[in-house]
Amino acid sequence: LFDFKIILGKNGVPVAENFRLEQSTIADTIQAGQVRVRTLYLSVDPYMRCRMNEDTGSDYLLPWQLSEVADGGGIGVVEESKHDNLAKGDFVTSFNWPWQTVAILDGSLLQKLVPQLVNGRLSYFLGAAGITGLTALLGIKEKGHVAAGANQTMVVSGAAGACGSLAGQIGRLEGCSRVVGIAGTDEKCSILVQEMGFDAAINYKKGDVAEQLRELCPGGVDVYFDNVGGDISDTVISQMNQDSHIILCGQISQYNKDVPYPPPLPPDIEKIQKERNITRERFLVLNYMDKQEASILQLCQWIQEGKLKV
C-alpha cells in the first residue's frame, strides 16, 4: 500500500517538499459494512490548495492534517465487500477518497457508478459527469441567468481547464449566442475554438486583453464564468453590461495569498460592479445537491450525444 501524505500548509506556492510518499500495510480483514477498494483515479483540483491552510476559508472544506493521508474525489473498484449493496467488481466513488493505492472504506459513504452512462470512461465521473460538470452546469443555470434567444455573450476565464472547457460548451447549449474563452497558451486557445466550439479565445499572456475583449465582445459581456479572479477578472468586469452576471466558480490566481474568499474587488472595479448592478454571489455546487441526479443524467446524455467534449 502506498499512500500520499501532506506535511505543510501555509501561504505561498506548494512545493514537492510539502508532501511525502509512504509505504505501509493494510489490515487483512474488513468489518461488517466495510469494503476493500483498489484506487483507479484521483482528482487533483485547485480547491485543494485551500485545504493546505489551517483555516480553509470554507465551512464545507476541512483542512488536511499534518502527516495524515490526503484525500479528495476518487474512484476505485471493490476487491472485497461486507456491505449489502456492494459486491466485488463494483466501481465506486467518494468525495473523500484517500490518496492511497488500496483502502478499507465504509461502504455506506460510497456511491456506486454505472460505466455505461459515460461510455465506459470511468474517469469522467470525476470530471464532465462529476462534481466538475455539475459545477459548470449548475453554475450557469443558478447564477448565469442564461436565456435562449436573448443574444447573450459569455466569457470564461480558465477556459481550457476541466471546469472552464465544460462551462463554455454548456453556455452554448443553454442558449448563449457568443462564447469567448481566456486561456494561457496558443495551443489551449486553438483547442477551445477548433474542438470545444468556442467562438474565440484570448491568450492572456499575449497582447492587450482588454483590447482583445472589446474586439471579440463588441456588445459587451452578459455572463462571466469566473475561475481565476485577479487582474483578468477585473478586466472582464470592466466590460460587463448593465444587469449582467458573474458566476463566481473559483479564484485560482488568489489561492496562494492570504485573502478572504471571495477576494474583495479593487475599489474602481467594485464601483463598476455596483453601478451596473452586476451580480457576484458566492456559488457552491454542494448547495444544489437536490438537483444532482437530474443534472448528472443531462451531462451524461450530452457526452453520449457528442455535444459535450471532454
130 CA to centre of own chain:
9
Q: How far is CA 205 from CA 155, 184, 237, in A?
A: 17, 6, 18
Here the CATH number for the domain that contains residue 143 is: 3.40.50.720
Please report whether residue 164 resides in a domain: yes
Highest mean pLDDT among 48-52, 201-205, 261-265: 201-205
Q: Is 58 helix (H, G, I), strand (E, B) or coil?
A: coil
Alpha carbons 123 and 138: distance in angstroms, whole number: 20
- Same domain? 282 vs 143: yes
Which residues does 200 contact at the CB level (< 8 Å), separation at least 6?
180, 181, 193, 216
> In 10 A of CB 252, how many CB atoms?
19
Q: Which amino acid is at 208?
A: D
pLDDT in tens, 202-225: 999 998 999 999 999 999 999 999
- Same domain? 98 vs 245: no
**Residue position matching grid coordinates 474565440:** 200
pLDDT at 9: 45
pLDDT at 83: 98
- Same domain? 161 vs 252: yes
- Find the range with the poorest average confidence among 16-20, 213-217, 229-233: 16-20
Structural domains counted in the chain: 2
- Torsion (CA) 302, 73, 223, 167 in degrees, nearest 10: -30
The last residue of a domain, from among 113, 145, 164: 113
Domain span at 161: 131-286
DSSP H stretches of helix in the chain:
131-139, 162-174, 186-194, 209-216, 230-237, 267-275, 292-305
Tell which residue, 209, 282, 210, has the closest CA to residue 248: 282
Please report whether residue 228 resides in a domain: yes
Please report whether residue 126 resides in a domain: no
Please report whether residue 298 resides in a domain: no
Here the CATH number for the domain that contains residue 86 is: 3.90.180.10
Q: How far is CA 268 from CA 112, 217, 238, 271, in A?
A: 49, 21, 9, 5
Please report whether residue 242 resides in a domain: yes
Please report whether residue 293 resides in a domain: no
- Same domain? 228 vs 183: yes
- Same domain? 144 vs 81: no
Which residues does 93 contact at the CB level (< 8 Å), separation at least 6?
73, 74, 75, 76, 110, 111, 113, 125, 126, 130
Rounded mean pLDDT of 145-166? 96
- Same domain? 95 vs 166: no
- Same domain? 135 vs 282: yes
- Same domain? 88 vs 149: no
- Same domain? 104 vs 169: no
- Same domain? 165 vs 274: yes
Tell which residue, 39, 50, 134, 129, has the closest CA to residue 92: 39
- Same domain? 212 vs 159: yes
Please report whether residue 185 resides in a domain: yes
Per cent of the chain over pLDDT 90 is 76
What separation, in Å, do the N-terminal and C-terminal C-alpha atoms of the chain show?
Answer: 31
- Same domain? 51 vs 143: no
pLDDT in tens, 136-149: 999 999 999 999 99
Tell which residue, 171, 124, 180, 161, has the closest CA to residue 250: 161
Please report whether residue 309 resides in a domain: no
The last residue of a domain, from among 113, 139, 165: 113
